[in-house]
């Protein structure tokens, strides 16, 4: 069986679908725990578990001024509630979660696109 890779095909944010640029290398972090091994003086060790949020970084989506996409994205970032997010991969899989826009959002007039990072509580789950 072949493994299919490539940029996300699209992402749906609070019900609005955004095409993802073909060259976007999106890094997915499903959420859950990150582990750290901490040493004890007697040579034994313990595992420190830290709960972490899920995230999608490196996402670049098409921004259409006729649809007021930039304003829509900014309103999501300005909001105080998580919203539904679905990321669609080229292999046909979809990953969903509740989250928000994190970090700085940058919109490029040259490429009609926006660099957006997403994150949220819990885990991203495959539909």
SS3 122: coil
Location of structure tokens 């940029």: 7
Residue by residue, DSSP assigns 43-68 as S-EEEEEEEE-EEEEEEEEE--GGGT
Q: Are 97 and 120 in contact (CB under 8 A)?
A: yes
What whole-number percentage of the chain has pLDDT above 90? Answer: 94
- For residues 104, 105, 107, 113, the Cα torsion angle rounded to the nearest 10 degrees is 130
How do residues 66-98 score in pLDDT, each as one tens digit? 999 999 999 999 999 999 999 999 999 999 999
Give the model's confidence band at 2: pLDDT under 50 very low, under 70 low, under 90 confident, else very high.
Answer: confident
For 54, the token pair is 């899920």
Residue pair 125/95 in contact (Cβ under 8 Å)? The answer is yes
Q: What is the mean pLDDT of residues 14-35?
A: 97
In terms of pTM, does the model score above 0.95?
Answer: no
User: Which architecture characterizes domain 10-126 according to CATH?
Assistant: Beta Barrel (2.40)
Number of neighbouring beta carbons within 10 Å of residue 115:
18
Alpha helices in the chain (DSSP H): 69-78
Q: Where are the domains of the chain?
A: 10-126
């Amino acid at each position: 069986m072949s493994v299919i890779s490539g940029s996300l095909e699209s992402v749906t944010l609070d019900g609005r679908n955004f095409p993802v640029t073909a060259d976007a290398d999106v890094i997915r972090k499903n959420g859950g725990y990150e582990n750290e091994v901490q040493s004890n003086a007697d040579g034994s060790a313990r595992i420190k578990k830290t709960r972490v949020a899920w995230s999608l970084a490196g996402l670049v989506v098409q921004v259409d001024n006729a649809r007021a996409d930039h304003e829509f994205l900014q309103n999501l970032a300005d909001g105080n509630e998580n919203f539904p997010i679905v990321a669609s991969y080229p292999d046909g899989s979809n990953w969903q979660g509740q989250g928000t826009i994190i970090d700085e959002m940058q919109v490029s007039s040259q490429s009609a696109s926006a660099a957006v990072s997403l994150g949220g509580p819990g885990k991203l789950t495959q539909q």
